Amino acid sequence: MASEVKVPTLGESVTEGTIGEWLKKPGDTVKVDEPIVSLETDKVAVEVPSPVGGVLGEQKFAVGDTVEVGAVIATIEDDVAAGESTKVEPREEKSAEAPAREEKKDEKPAPAAAKEAAPVDTQTLSPAVRRAVLEHGVDPTTIKGTGKDGRLTKEDVLAAAEAKKGGADTIDEAAPAQAKIDIPAPAAEGGERREERVKMTRMRQTIAKRLKSAQDNAALLTTFNDCDMSAVIEAREKYKDLFAKKHDIKLGFMGFFAKAACLALKDVPSANAYIEGDEIVYHDFVDISVAVSAPNGLVVPVVRDADRKSFAQIEKDIADFGKRARDGTLTMEDMKGGTFTISNGGVFGSLMSTPIINPPQSAVLGLHRIEDRPVVVDGEIVVRPMMYIALSYDHRLIDGREAVTALKIMKEAIEDPTRMLIDL
């Protein structure tokens, strides 16, 4: 008897998803609650577990198909069916050649035979990872994956490619020769040029729509400033060991900027509000959306009540979001709401940018890389670790004076962290 696997409830207002990847093949044994398929929704990837133990039967949809909540997407055969579905090789009849075969069974296979071994199934690689493998000409079987259940991510491939360029193409020299995948080498100069057409994931489509909608519906403007990071860097160096020992988490920069943003939003409430119809909705709390890079795109989980949380709790929340984003285990609830966004392009080396607001929010803070620059202090030229910061905002709601004021408060709080303690 077969059990049905249905698309579960995916979250508020989410009625459908897309088959992103089958984690099990027909005939594979599955356990109760073991994930068998990954669904892509507008915001997150959701793994659908098996309701019973047995063997995966029919897959009713292919990768890329759209499925509605409640739809039957697969069947699980019970134990009896599992036994029946197991392939049994026919027993060889005894013959005069049998002894000879038995004598050779302990011999090592010839090198040619090893090369002819069955190739590794590349269909378990996501489109983005497969494309990166082809572009950089690396062998995915020699790379240790850091994603969910050890799966490869695009970042893993890029890191391997960098190591290869540096003459360190020895990620796993113990990998067997037969595990090599026939990956086409990049075309030589003047050779054949290729192009690949890949369907956008549902998440990427949603990101594109939301960003374009923000540009179409809001009056976007960005104001810039720069801040001296000396005080924050000094505080981190002085207390990082004690902080890590007490809270079991590293003291990063995001906690400082989150607290500085809370200070500014308290004095400039319009930056923590949004427009709904002909009304302005103000909040007496601060839920900060933190832009996090995930294998399938940018996601923005929410640190709730950031204005009431300690540095340690904010850092723990952000670290947890980052890990779960890489593992693909963020939920719809993690990204629901948010009143203000912080996006840190500095981790990728960005010097300056104009971030786009996250609708329906009205403002977003962009952080960038820290670099030593000459600045004038008390009439003298000195070298300080400086960072450009940017505040993009909806000019329909936030006036230039308010935006500049909010960004200036954040700058002053970062340059003098004591302000965050005495509410200045």
Which residues are designated catalytic? Answer: 395, 399
- Decide if 388 contacts 211 (C-beta within 8 A): no
- Decide if 40 contacts 18 (C-beta within 8 A): yes
E strands in 248-403: 274-276, 279-281, 288-290, 292-294, 297-299, 302-303, 340-344, 363-377, 380-394
Distance of alpha carbon 400 from alpha carbon 402, whole angstroms: 5
Distance of alpha carbon 33 from alpha carbon 17, whole angstroms: 20
- Decide if 396 contacts 371 (C-beta within 8 A): no
Residues 6+ apart with CB under 8 A from 203: 40, 41, 42, 43, 44, 45, 296, 297
Neighbours of 226 (CB within 10 A): 16
Distance of alpha carbon 398 from alpha carbon 222, whole angstroms: 11
Which residue's structure tokens are 């047995």? 54
Query: Could you tell me the two tokens for 170?
Result: 């020895």
Neighbours of 347 (CB within 10 A): 11
E strands in 23-128: 29-30, 35-40, 45-49, 54-59, 66-68, 72-77
Four-CA torsion 198, 202, 207, 209, nearest 10 degrees: 90
Angle, CA 113 vertex, CA 112 and CA 117 arms, to 5° = 120
Beta pairing class for 279-281 and 274-276: antiparallel
- Decide if 344 contacts 291 (C-beta within 8 A): yes
